[in-house]
Amino acid sequence: MPTIWVDADATPKAIREVICRAAVRTGILTMFVANHRVPVTPCPNIKALQVEPGFDVADNYIAQRAVEHDLLVTQDIPLAAEVMENKVDVIDNRGERYNPQTIRQKLNMRDFMDTLRSSGVQSGGPAAFSDKDKQAFANSLDRWLAKTKE
């Protein structure tokens, strides 16, 4: 059975709750990985792992362990691209499922925005997280869970 990996350093509480409810309902092993304590629903198949502080420590932990057919929930585009090479499915906190074409576009846009910011251009940030985003994520997660049952 696959595992759900959550890059929990920047995962909104609402998304953690959706993931925990799905894990309780399905019994799927779910690993929340962060460099700080992450509160999760007490359940034998839900684990919250606190890794050492440091740049990309949680990302590296996930990248070394996620395997084909697992799911990663992350906003981290480079981490998503890395695990996709091992055929790990990836969705972001707003429910967007990445594929090889979209991840390439996201990496290019990320690099472009980094270049703009380093030259002093203020680019703002992502839109505030909404109930619509939470619903889109829940729907995307449900589609992935249904696919894993096939």
Structure confidence by residue, pLDDT tens digits, 100-118 = 878 777 766 666 667 766 7
What is the C-alpha to C-alpha distance for residues 57 and 67, in angstroms, rounded to an integer? 18
Is 122's pLDDT higher than 90? no
Q: Tell me the CATH number at 112.
A: 3.40.50
Structural domain span for residue 108: 3-149
Number of domains in the chain: 1
Q: What is the mean pLDDT of residues 70-88?
A: 93
How many other C-beta atoms are found inside a 10 Å radius of the C-beta of residue 92? 23
Percent of the chain with pLDDT over 70: 88
> DSSP secondary structure string, 15-78?
HHHHHHHHHHHH--EEEEEESS-------TTEEEEEPPSSTTHHHHHHHHH--TT-EEE-S-HH
Q: State the pLDDT at residue 5.
A: 98
Structure confidence by residue, pLDDT tens digits, 48-59 = 999 999 888 999
